[in-house]
Amino acid sequence: MTHNLLAGTGNVLRFPFEERARPTLDLMRDLAPDCRVVDLTAEAFDLPLPDVDFRHRVDAETAEHILNHIDPRPGKARNMALRALRDRAVDAAVQAARAWRRASVAADDARRHVAQARTDGGYWMNGLRREALERDAAALLLEAYLQCEAAEGVARAVRLALGGEEWIPFDIHREAETLFCGSP
């Protein structure tokens, strides 16, 4: 296993708090894979890409679930049910991201062993193991991305419900207008 050094130092180990921290939306966003890396990895390993509107479909499905299965009366019970719904999605996303990161580190270690063996003039016996580790890490990357996107969709629907706002489908143009020009 490699040692994770603090950036800019050669002798200070970094403790990966993200492996032990309680799952939150902020932690999930820190651990979530970059969509550009997801696209490149899916292309490199010939894996199917998720639909572009996946997060928005989950958002709509969650809003429908809230409407049909959670008590509409405001109060502590409703808020707890909504937060539990969000927390389950975030927890699954954080666990998937952690699994991807562990698999990625294992694949990187294997890649380094192969490179070191070639430098030493030998060969590493488990070259096929390296390829399997890389493919597993790629599959876990896509799974982590899907789980994080799903959690973002659930979080949006829950945020609107907790705020007492009416759920409306996500519209990129309306969101951009609100962001850049203020209220539409």
**Lowest mean pLDDT, pick from 14-18, 112-116, 133-137, 152-156:** 14-18
Mean pLDDT within 124-150? 86
Q: How far apart are CA 15 and CA 6, in angstroms?
A: 9
Question: 165: how many CB neighbours lie within 10 A of its CB?
Answer: 9
- What is the value of pTM for the model shown? 0.81
pLDDT of 55-113, one tens digit each? 999 999 999 999 999 988 989 999 999 999 999 999 999 999 999 999 998 888 887 87
Instruction: Please state, in angstroms and rounded to a whole number, the distance separating the CA atoms of residues 93 and 150.
Output: 8
Q: In this structure, are residues 26 and 129 in contact, taking their beta carbons and an 8 Å threshold?
A: no
CA separation for the pair 54, 144 (Å, rounded): 13
pLDDT of residue 76: 94
Averaged over 1-26, what is the pLDDT?
Answer: 67
Position 172 scores a pLDDT of 79
Place 12 in a pLDDT band, splitting at 50, 70 and 90. Answer: low
- The per-residue pLDDT for 1 is 44
Q: Is the pLDDT of residue 38 over 90?
A: yes
Amino acid identity at 66: I
pLDDT for 17: 61
In the predicted structure, residue 134 carries a pLDDT above the cut 50: yes
Predicted confidence (pLDDT) per residue in 145-183, tens digit:
999 999 999 999 999 999 998 888 888 788 788 888 876
